[in-house]
Amino acid sequence: MRALAWPRHAGGVFLLFTLVVLVAYPLVLLAYGSFVSDDPSQARALTLSSWRAAFDNPGMASALANTLRRSLLTEIIALPTAVLIAWLVARTDMPGKKLLDTLFWVAFFLPALPVLLGWILLFDPDFGLANQLVAKLFGPGEPLFNIYSFWGIVFAHMASRSIAAKYIFLVPAFRNFDGALEEASIIAGYGTLHTLWRIVVPLLVPAIMVTAIISLVHSLESFEIELILGAPFDFYVFSTRIYRLIEQSPPLFGAATVLALAVLACMLPLMIWQQRILASRNFTTLTSHFKPRVLRLGRVRVPVFALLATGCLVITVVPTVCLVMGTFMNLFGKFDLAIVWTTEHWSHVFADAETLTALRNTIVMGLAAAALGLVWFPSIAYVADRTRMPGRMLLGLLAWLPATLPGIILGLGMLWTFLSTPLLGKLYGSVGVLIIAVLVAALSTGVQLIRSNMVQVGRELEEASWIIGASWMTTFRRILLPLLGPVLLTVALLTFNTAARNVAGVAMLATASNRPLAMLQVDYMVDGRYEPAAIVGVLIVGLTLGMVLVARLLARRLGIRTH
């Protein structure tokens, strides 16, 4: 077919070239670095010392067990919950769906570290407000809540992004599901839940699988929550062990890279499995005969809404109020001072020129990455799924790889790439290098979300466009992109969110001149200045939620469905 020939020319080759340079080459440098000794007194000869140091590291077995236990438990609870919520919002007549959708976006965009400060203010065993309230009601005793525990860490993940991110990834796919399939199941005599389990979920396997794999990878690489909440009771996971190896003096980059490559080796079978499933089965649910359908919940529609609304308010409003309250406290967490509240922290933060510079860097980085991602990500997804280009499987595999590496290691590979490449090296120290790092960090999520939704769109829509003489570019722009509008909006906002809150991926590339708000926040926290750190967190929340509002208003003007 005429549209299938274009990637054999410059377009497809250029996309593959960009992935080779920005993904494959850093991985090659990382692999090479794992065989080079970190000892500066030794010659830079190939050695297995880093591999021995990685697996002989004390506590590695327990860290691996902790990682699997925490990650699997969180995913087992969060994924079915998110599937059910996405179905309720997208496919039923439950009231208040716009409000719930907005609250889940808020939960997703709340930055992890400042929100964690809010949960600490609530559930700290010594000064937590919730424990103080329980003590007043039932008398003093052992604290009921302890955020510094295994279940505290699980709760922090569930209440921050675990459920909200899965919901955001899944809801566009549920909205694109043809209601005729559900209607046929209902006519055949099957109930609503049976239809959901036997009809809807199997046909949405690509979106669900991509969501599960991406969430699992992000869960494996997460270290902020474990670093803060796990340290008091010596709870370490795989990512915090990698972080400790890099943090110590001298840093053991080789051993840390070995552990990161081990994570990559574990994730490769999942990536290959996902690729085969996409290629071997038909998941089309959006055709020229698309028929939306709303299922009626009957008497349970109001109680279900009330339950979900309560949960959303708990994970959004409560930590946000605590976060804002912490910015006005004279000393974070201390309510027994003579003067508890003050506005001096706000004055000091905004009087610092570094704050305005970091704010400008974040806005430029986020807008540029989102705009470039809206061109780069759909193009890769289209070539990988809609063409017969030789090497398209390699293109899809390379697009997966950044998600398999912990952010700090990916940043290290990017640093080595920029320093070893003369042309790219000129960008070092500029905001441009952070834009590229953000694009690579968001690559896997963006491409896979688009692909999982693209396989739902029937090829007959493109074929009809080609029959009347439209080129592949016109078909791509006028047919596919409008149909993928909701997921493209999601990807753009996710990319901007990555730029606004990403720490690990840019830590190795940030300098005094290009430092974004997220790194400024980390610097405040490292110095023990939690009050200004919370203020920067409020700025990040305001910035990201402001972008959500602007994007939704723009989507409404363009006729893109967001609810």
Rounded to whole angstroms, the Cα distance separating 105 from 548 reads: 8
Given this model, what pLDDT does residue 289 score? 47
State residue 562 phi and psi, 5-degree precision. -120, -5
Sequence-distant (6+) residues with CB within 8 A of 521 are: 111, 113, 114, 533, 536, 537, 540
Residue 4 reports pLDDT greater than 50:
no
Task: Provide the residue count of the chain.
Answer: 563
Query: Is 123 in contact with 146 (CB distance < 8 Å)?
Result: yes
Rounded to whole angstroms, the Cα distance separating 281 from 315 reads: 38
Given this model, what pLDDT does residue 317 score? 87
Span 16-29, pLDDT tens digits: 888 888 888 888 88
Given this model, what pLDDT does residue 271 score? 64
Helix 301-327 and helix 97-109: axis angle, to 10°? 30
Q: Reduced to 3 DSSP states, what percent helix, strand and coil does the chain have, rounded to the nearest 5? A: 75, 0, 25
Of the pLDDT bands very low, low, confident and very high (cuts 50, 70, 90), residue 287 is very low
Mean pLDDT comparison of 54-68, 381-395, 440-454, highest-scoring range: 440-454
Residue 39 reports pLDDT greater than 70:
no
Of the pLDDT bands very low, low, confident and very high (cuts 50, 70, 90), residue 361 is very high
Structure tokens at 133: 């309230």
The reported pTM is 0.73
Q: Is the dihedral of CA 269, 272, 274, 276 positive or negative?
A: negative
Of the pLDDT bands very low, low, confident and very high (cuts 50, 70, 90), residue 62 is confident
Residue 239 reports pLDDT greater than 70:
yes
Least Cα distance to 562 among 547, 548, 545 occurs for: 548
Residue 362 reports pLDDT greater than 90:
yes
Span 441-455, pLDDT tens digits: 889 888 877 887 776
Least Cα distance to 23 among 365, 404, 362 occurs for: 404
For the segment 453-471, the average pLDDT, to the nearest whole number, is: 68
Rounded to whole angstroms, the Cα distance separating 209 from 268 reads: 14
Rounded to whole angstroms, the Cα distance separating 122 from 457 reads: 46
Residue 356 reports pLDDT greater than 80:
yes
For the segment 483-499, the average pLDDT, to the nearest whole number, is: 83
For the segment 107-118, the average pLDDT, to the nearest whole number, is: 78
Rounded to whole angstroms, the Cα distance separating 349 from 155 reads: 31
Angle at 197 between CA 196 and CA 198, to 5 degrees: 100
Domains and CATH numbers, the chain: 2-558 (1.10.3720.10)
Q: Is 342 exposed, middle or buried (0-12, 13-18, 19+ CB in 10 A)?
A: middle
Of the pLDDT bands very low, low, confident and very high (cuts 50, 70, 90), residue 310 is very high
For the segment 135-144, the average pLDDT, to the nearest whole number, is: 81
Residue 126: count of CB within 10 angstroms of its CB:
10
Rounded to whole angstroms, the Cα distance separating 181 from 165 reads: 27
Given this model, what pLDDT does residue 1 score? 40
Span 179-188, pLDDT tens digits: 666 666 666 6
Please give the residue that has the higher pLDDT: either 189 or 55: 55
Given this model, what pLDDT does residue 360 score? 93
Given this model, what pLDDT does residue 455 score? 67
For the segment 327-344, the average pLDDT, to the nearest whole number, is: 82
Given this model, what pLDDT does residue 5 score? 46
Please give the residue that has the higher pLDDT: either 266 or 82: 82
Given this model, what pLDDT does residue 128 score? 81
Span 418-442, pLDDT tens digits: 877 777 778 888 898 999 999 998 8
Residue 196 reports pLDDT greater than 70:
no
The fraction of the chain above a pLDDT of 70, given in percent, is 81
Query: Is 246 in contact with 227 (CB distance < 8 Å)?
Result: no
The fraction of the chain above a pLDDT of 90, given in percent, is 8
In 3-state terms, what secondary structure has residue 36?
Answer: strand
Phi-psi region of 271 (alpha: psi -120 to 50; beta: other; left: phi over 0): alpha
Given this model, what pLDDT does residue 363 score? 93
The radius of gyration of the chain from alpha carbons, rounded to an integer in Å, stands at: 24
Place of tokens 């077995």: 61
Span 8-18, pLDDT tens digits: 456 778 888 88
Place of tokens 């920029």: 418
End-to-end Cα separation, the chain, in angstroms: 36
